[in-house]
């Protein structure tokens, strides 16, 4: 079978863009800083470089890339020296797992041999682990200790929230160059050991003890108590180790999308990376967007999604053209017909429940863990399209006794596209359980696959057994056998005509018409119709 010109064009364009998109991202300056984000821990979606949500790190990673770095990520544990040695800087953004002793040895070896480590922690409580939890276990291996179950607060110097403290108690250093004040967001203070402290909190601050709520979350009472450490408290420190360097920061939220450009975190991040590789602070800071299409392996994911979309579109066009013909008419039992309507209606409701209610959380900025308008818009568009074509399917079955095959094809394509999107590009959304929507999309395919099976067995016109003549009044010209399309239409009353054969009612220009079979062809037409559409003939 020959391919249509449209499909050939799609294939041609695909081969043109393969060398552009699929080529590894190696066209870069030889002195680019090679940065690796560790994402091997069970973060959910927090602090990951593809996450566009408020707690994502996509802006930070894009900022580094736009200022001359090459950014990659690692998602498979363990961290080994062999995996690290090809990078200049390792960034640990509040890692959510405890590293093995061997991993810590390999991280120390990486730093000792000239690598840079940006260790960014956050406050944590008893529900997370003891003082050896995650990033603190690594920090303690270098002689630095972040506080356990405490949050720095300041009721006088803050950004409207006591745990978002503001400080200008900053030491002169390349890491703090061009920074006059810093917002330190929900952070911990540290015992710096031999590290040099670069930023302190204000004298009015203190380290508020946390407690575990009934929901298992950490909270603080914002009451200055006698046994709580008073400011100024060390917030950011740095040290040299062997031939490498380390920076310790106890506030991961300083670098998240929601706060990066509000807190001077962007300048702090750029200065830190440059210092770790023995470069001066930038003379010019380039502001970046939310995410770059060349970030990490995102270009390959985008390429895969483009190819997937082209294949899906070409397949849809091919099937629509191939099936654009009259099918055999065959009766279907009444219970099957009613069951088919029920299945399509039930799955229409399920699709609404899957795609619409969650947006109450995704569009609510007061719930930052779920707030993600990009994913919300994607869900709304997908849900509306599904509901529209699903409604058309149910409407046509009830009022026309007809299954329009293209409606099922459209819904199958929409669901496959969305499933592919959540699998291939799901990391750019902040919803923590993206697989729910992938699995849900495949589950919602059920009624449309059933529709295709029914059409294959009974044709698009659902002729209910025992109601054959009633159904003829509902048939459109396109659904009649091809041999009947060319015959004349005459105005007459409904029902039987002179020839003794049934006629097809139509509505054209506001008048009711019947399609009458000329008596000369009655013999052949009777044989043809009785073979394809038995209605109780003798």
**Nearest to 123, CA basis, from 50, 21, 52, 208:** 208
CB 455 within 8 A of CB 403: yes
Neighbour-count burial of 524, counting CB atoms closer than 10 A to its CB (0-12 exposed, 13-18 middle, 19+ buried): exposed
Structure tokens given for 9: 């064009």
Structure tokens given for 447: 């009624």
Q: 51 and 196 share a domain?
A: yes
Q: 136 and 234 share a domain?
A: yes
pLDDT in the model for residue 403 = 87
Instruction: Name the domain count of the chain.
Output: 3
Phi-psi region of 420 (alpha: psi -120 to 50; beta: other; left: phi over 0): alpha
Please identify, among 241, 260, 276, the residue that sits at the C-terminal boundary of a domain: 276
User: What distance separates the 2 farthest-apart alpha carbons in the chain?
Assistant: 108
CB 343 within 8 A of CB 450: yes
User: Is 17 part of any domain?
Assistant: no
Per-residue pLDDT of the chain (538 residues; tens, 9 = 90+): 444 555 555 555 555 444 444 433 333 333 689 999 999 877 677 899 999 988 899 999 999 999 989 999 999 989 999 999 999 999 999 887 888 999 999 999 999 999 999 999 888 765 566 666 778 889 999 999 988 778 889 889 888 888 899 999 999 999 999 999 999 988 888 999 999 999 999 999 988 887 767 776 667 777 788 888 898 999 999 999 999 999 999 999 999 999 999 889 999 999 999 999 999 999 888 889 999 988 988 998 999 999 999 999 998 888 887 765 545 567 788 899 999 999 999 999 999 999 999 999 999 988 877 888 999 999 999 999 999 999 999 999 998 788 888 999 999 999 999 999 999 999 888 888 889 999 999 999 999 999 999 988 888 877 777 665 555 555 554 555 555 545 434 333 334 444 444 444 444 444 444 444 344 344 455 555 555 555 444 3
Structure tokens given for 460: 């698009």
Q: Are strands 89-93 and 116-120 parallel, antiparallel or unpaired?
A: parallel
Q: 83 and 224 share a domain?
A: yes
User: Is 304 part of any domain?
Assistant: no
What length does the chain have? Answer: 538
User: Is 68 part of any domain?
Assistant: yes
Residue 532's H or E segment, with its range, is helix 522-532
Q: 257 and 406 share a domain?
A: no
Q: What count of Cα atoms within 13 Å lies in the side-chain half-sphere of residue 242?
A: 13
User: Is 375 part of any domain?
Assistant: yes
User: Is 218 part of any domain?
Assistant: yes
**Nearest to 517, CA basis, from 497, 494, 533, 491:** 497
Structure tokens given for 164: 């978002």
Please identify, among 276, 307, 340, the residue that sits at the C-terminal boundary of a domain: 276
Rounded CA gap, 421 and 379, in Å? Answer: 11
Q: 97 and 240 share a domain?
A: yes
pLDDT in the model for residue 90 = 98
Q: Which residue intervals of 184-297 are DSSP H helices?
A: 265-276
Q: 84 and 222 share a domain?
A: yes
User: Is 50 part of any domain?
Assistant: yes
User: Is 302 part of any domain?
Assistant: no
Neighbour-count burial of 175, counting CB atoms closer than 10 A to its CB (0-12 exposed, 13-18 middle, 19+ buried): buried
Please identify, among 402, 435, 453, the residue that sits at the C-terminal boundary of a domain: 453
Phi-psi region of 532 (alpha: psi -120 to 50; beta: other; left: phi over 0): alpha
State the CATH number of the domain containing residue 202. 3.40.50.880
Q: 490 and 432 share a domain?
A: no
Q: 493 and 353 share a domain?
A: no
CB 28 within 8 A of CB 70: yes
CB 323 within 8 A of CB 452: no
pLDDT in the model for residue 505 = 46
Q: 272 and 192 share a domain?
A: yes
Q: 134 and 261 share a domain?
A: yes
DSSP letters of 133-183?
A: -HHHHHHHHTT-EEPSSEEEE-SSSBSSSTTEEEE-EE--SGGGTT-S-EE
Which tens digit of pLDDT belongs to each residue from 29-46? 336 899 999 998 776 778
Rounded CA gap, 21 and 27, in Å? Answer: 12
Range of the domain at 155: 26-276
Q: 413 and 488 share a domain?
A: no
Residue for token digits 């745990």?
163
Q: 40 and 158 share a domain?
A: yes
């Amino acid at each position: 079978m020959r391919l249509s010109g449209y499909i050939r064009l799609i294939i041609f364009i695909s081969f043109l863009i393969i060398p552009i998109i699929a080529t590894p991202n190696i066209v870069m300056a030889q002195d680019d800083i090679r940065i690796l984000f560790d994402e091997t821990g069970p973060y959910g979606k927090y602090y990951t470089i593809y996450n566009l949500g408020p707690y994502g790190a996509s802006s930070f990673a894009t900022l580094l890339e736009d200022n001359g770095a090459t950014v990659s990520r690692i998602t498979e544990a363990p961290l080994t020296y062999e995996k690290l040695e090809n990078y200049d800087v390792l960034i640990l953004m509040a890692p959510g797992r405890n590293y093995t002793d061997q991993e810590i040895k390999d991280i120390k070896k990486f730093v000792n041999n000239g690598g840079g480590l940006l260790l960014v922690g956050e406050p944590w409580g008893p529900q997370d682990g003891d003082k050896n939890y995650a990033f603190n276990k690594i920090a303690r291996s270098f002689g630095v200790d972040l506080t356990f179950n405490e949050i720095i607060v300041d009721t006088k110097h803050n950004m409207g929230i006591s745990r978002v403290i503001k400080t200008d108690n900053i030491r002169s250093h390349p890491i703090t160059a061009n920074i006059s004040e810093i917002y330190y967001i929900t952070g911990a203070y540290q015992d710096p050991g031999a590290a040099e402290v670069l930023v302190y909190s204000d004298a009015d601050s203190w380290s508020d003890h946390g407690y575990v709520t009934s929901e298992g979350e950490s909270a603080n009472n914002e009451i200055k108590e006698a046994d709580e450490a008073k400011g100024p408290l060390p917030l950011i420190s740095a040290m040299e180790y062997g031939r490498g360097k380390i920076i310790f920061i106890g506030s991961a939220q300083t670098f998240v999308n929601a706060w990066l450009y509000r807190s001077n975190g962007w300048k702090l991040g750029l200065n830190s990376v440059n210092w770790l590789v023995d470069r001066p602070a930038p003379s010019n800071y380039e502001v970046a967007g939310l995410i770059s299409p060349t970030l990490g392996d995102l270009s390959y994911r985008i390429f895969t999604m483009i190819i997937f979309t082209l294949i899906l579109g070409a397949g849809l066009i091919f099937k629509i053209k191939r099936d654009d013909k009259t099918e055999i008419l065959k009766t279907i039992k009444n219970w099957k017909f009613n069951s088919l309507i029920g299945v399509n209606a039930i799955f229409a409701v399920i699709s609404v429940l899957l795609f619409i209610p969650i947006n109450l959380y995704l569009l609510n900025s007061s719930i930052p863990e779920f707030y993600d308008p990009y994913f919300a818009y994607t869900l709304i568009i997908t849900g509306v399209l599904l509901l529209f074509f699903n409604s058309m399917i149910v409407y046509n079955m009830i009022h026309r006794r007809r299954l329009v095959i293209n409606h099922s094809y459209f819904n199958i394509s929409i669901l496959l596209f969305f499933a592919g999107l959540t699998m291939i590009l799901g990391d750019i959304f902040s919803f923590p359980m993206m697989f729910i929507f992938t699995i849900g999309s495949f589950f919602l395919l059920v009624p449309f696959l059933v529709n295709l099976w029914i059409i294959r067995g009974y044709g698009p016109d659902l002729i209910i057994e025992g109601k054959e003549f009633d159904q003829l009044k509902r048939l459109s010209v396109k659904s009649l056998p091809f041999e009947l399309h060319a015959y004349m239409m005459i105005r007459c009353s409904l029902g039987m005509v002179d020839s003794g054969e049934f006629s097809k009612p139509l509505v054209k220009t506001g008048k009711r018409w019947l399609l009458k079979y000329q008596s000369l062809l009655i013999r052949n037409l009777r044989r043809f119709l009785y073979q394809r559409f038995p209605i109780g003939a003798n």
